[in-house]
Structure 1
Amino acid sequence: MSTITRLLVYAIISVTFGTIQAQEKVKDSLEKTSVDYKIEALEELKVKIEKEEREYLKAEIESINERQDAKQITAAEAEDLKKVAAEKRAANIENRLAIVDNKIELLKRNDSAYSVDDDESFIFRIGGRGEDSEDEFIYLGKKNRKHKPYKFDRRTTSDIVFAIGFNNAIIEGQDLDDSPYKLGGSGFMELGYAWKTRIFDNTNFWRLKYGFSFQWNKFDIKDNQYFVNTDGDVILQEFPVELNKAKFRTTNLVFPVHLEFGPSKKIEKEDYFRYSTRNKFKVGLGGYAGLNIGSMQKLKYKEDGNRIKNKQRGGFEVNEFVYGLSGYLAWGDTALYVKYDLNPLFKDQAFDQNNISVGLRFDMD
């Protein structure tokens, strides 16, 4: 064998052997890193557990202080409750850390494919998808979430408000029967968000309800009429051809406030209490104020055999500032609802028109 051939064979053997060694080292390094990574993640979890339990204790102590400030418990009772809470949280830390320490010991005794999945709100897995799989994957995350302790007394709650019903106008010098707007075709809708706050410490009979709402008030104009703005004077005139539809709508953003009253049920637990108005009678009296944010007249008719839809936005001298009175009579989450605009619909008109709405209101709390 020539010298060149020998050198070539040696080179091939060296490269092949070196590649095999490198692969073994990478494999060993990967397995070692997998276990170490799991253990490192669990050590971080131990720190998180201690922090989490301390935050829970802080929240419980704040709740106890609130009860003491409200004179629901004495200072001595508050200290006893704080001591019990601290002992409970310390025991929680000890028990939870012991669980994590046991996992670490399990990992140290086993290879990288070993799983430590359970309900400790943490999952870490690295390895193939099956015994015959060669592709590796890593998953690191939470399995479930711990709930923060309840606030002992929650005086303010919130809910979505939705209302729908009939709409019309009270016109100066006219009866409602003489209204130029159809009773059946004219309607309103309201969608908003409201907060409800208990006024007194030891009773939920009186509540203050407040929030914001979008109101859509629609008039279905009858007798083939439509609105015309003539030099700031908005009047109804007969349309030149037969109308299939003539509707006028205003959109308002308002901020309602109601004094709500009625019975409620007190639900008492060991570490919190709540008042519930579920299936209870309640009354709300108040009003609203806000801004008109749009107006539109929609006309549908035929001309020369063609169907025409005409939408006119703005230019109807609608009052920008909106305010009125409202009230509801409710059983549970459903109420009979009435609202009345104290401001005239149009400004500087010969005859005032005031919007009035009657319908159903749903407070979805």
Structure 2
Amino acid sequence: MKKTTIYLLLFIFSLGIPSLQAQEETPAEKIEKLEKEKEKIIAEEKEALKKEVEKINLRLEKKEIDWEKAEELKSEAAKKHALNIENRVAIIDNQIALLSRDGKEKDPDRENDEWGDDDDDDEDDWHYKSHYSRTTTHLVVAVGFNNALLEDQSLNDSDFKIGGSRFFELGMAWKTRVFEQSNWLRLRYGFSFQFNGLKPTDNRYFVENGDLTQLQEHELDLDKSKFRMDNLVFPVHFELGPSKKIETERSVWFSTRNQLRIGLGGYAGFNIGQRQKLKFEENGEKVKQKLKAGYNTNEFIYGLSGYLGWGGTALYVKYDLNPIFDDPNPELRNVSLGLRFDVN
């Protein structure tokens, strides 16, 4: 037999030998790659958001835009990247769910071992499967309306514009399931930067007179009067709600995507700065003033907060238990209502 014929026969024979072919990845290996891809997506979007915010801050420093426009652009950027993460991760989550189902159907050994039943009370089985951490990390973005009220005062009687006074919050949160074998109760904790803005009514602005901080009418017609207080706080919430358990050969985890969730808790932290911005026209010229002072504000911040949401978006409310200004000023407290976006 000629050598060429022998080589040809060996080649054809090798095509039918599975061991000579590249081994196909198992569902678990594919899922592991997809999980790494999710982490990469989140890192990419967070880095893109960071660069976008840096560009906005640079424009603010160059006075190309004012503070209010900068906050608006930051809010839009945060929402955009939050949705980018949600949409891109959703595609991968669907692929993982499909692979998880296929892995169960194709594994003949599952019929006779602990993977074959759904008894979550088997402690050994649970520890065998729980390769993923009970704690996950989230980007938190919140935006909405802000105001400040005295005791027994309604919004109709407020000294601040309801539509013009706004807040913005940006932070990081960690979510840990309280019970090892169940995800109906989670503990959320982290840190956030809160920017609370107030626009006084009736052409007024804040004036510091010794220990008192009072609203006074400006001698000129104000085009804009805005007081802002910046806080660094450490929120803690207990989150309740259903979740979907997803199992693979190597792991088990819970997904709260498209699920109702309720969060109740509070926050404590520090006031890291306050400022006031005025715009008016004087002698035919437009004037912008940025006034920085102590304004007798409280240095320690604490309050209650909660949210009610579906998936990654929630209705969010927070209320400062501490007065904005120290004694002997009236006990004026900050209150906020808006939307909160939690990005996995």
Deviation at 1:314, TM superposition (A): 2.3
**Range that drifts further, 217-226 or 164-173:** 164-173
Q: Does 1:295 align with 2:269?
A: no
The residue that corresponds to 1:172 in the other structure is 151
The 5-angstrom pairing of residues 239-258 of structure 1 reads 239-258=218-237
Pair 1:163-2:214 in alignment: no
| Match of residue 318, structure 1, among 282, 291, 297 | 297
Cα offsets for 1:146-184 (capped at 9, x unmatched)? xxxx97132000110000000001213533211111000
Rg comparison, structure with higher value? 1
1:189 paired to 2:168:
yes
Contact 2:314 2:339 in 1 (8 A): yes
Aligned to 1:226: 205
> Could you list the per-position Cα deviations for residues 250-287 of structure 1 after superposition, in whole angstroms to 9, with x for gaps in the alignment?
00000000000100000000011110000000000000
Q: CA RMSD for the aligned pairs?
A: 1.9
Return the letter of the residue paired with 1:305. G
How do residues 1-365 of structure 1 correspond to structure 2 at under 5 angstroms? 72-73=123-124, 152-172=131-151, 174-365=153-344
Q: Which has the higher contact order (CA 8 A, sep 6+)?
A: 2
How much does 1:313 deviate? 1.2
- State the shift of 1:306 in Å: 1.2
* Structure 1 gaps, min length 5: 1-69, 82-149
Q: 2:273 & 2:207 partners in 1: Cα distance?
A: 17
Structure 2 Cα separation of the partners of residues 203 and 174 of structure 1: 43
Q: Are the equivalent residues in 1 in contact too, given 2:261–2:308 (CA < 8 A)? A: yes
Contact 2:318 2:337 in 1 (8 A): yes
Q: Is the 8 A contact 2:213 2:329 kept in 1?
A: no
Contact kept? 2:155, 2:162, Cα under 8 Å? no
Cα shift readout 1:37-71 (whole Å, capped 9, x = no counterpart):
xxxxxxxxxxxxxxxxxxxxxxxxxxxxxxxxx96
Give the partner amino acid of 1:266: K
State the partner residue of 1:85: none
User: How many Å separate the matches in 2 of 1:205 and 1:172?
Assistant: 36
For the 8 Å contact 2:277–2:291, the answer to whether it is kept is yes
CA-to-partner distance for each residue in 1:224-267, whole Å, 9 max, x for gaps?
10101111100011101111100000000000000001000000
Q: How many Å apart are 1:72 and its aligned residue?
A: 2.8
Aligned length, in residue pairs: 224
Matched residues in 1 for 2:322 and 2:131: separation? 44
Partners of 1:294 and 1:319 lie apart in 2 by: 10
> What letter matches 1:72 in structure 2?
E
- Contact kept in structure 2, 1:172 and 1:351, CA below 8 Å: no
State the distance in 2 between where 1:192 and 1:177 align.
31
Q: TM-score, with normalisation over the residues of structure 2?
A: 0.63
> Percentage identity across aligned positions?
55
> Structure 1: which amino acid aligns with 2:245?
K
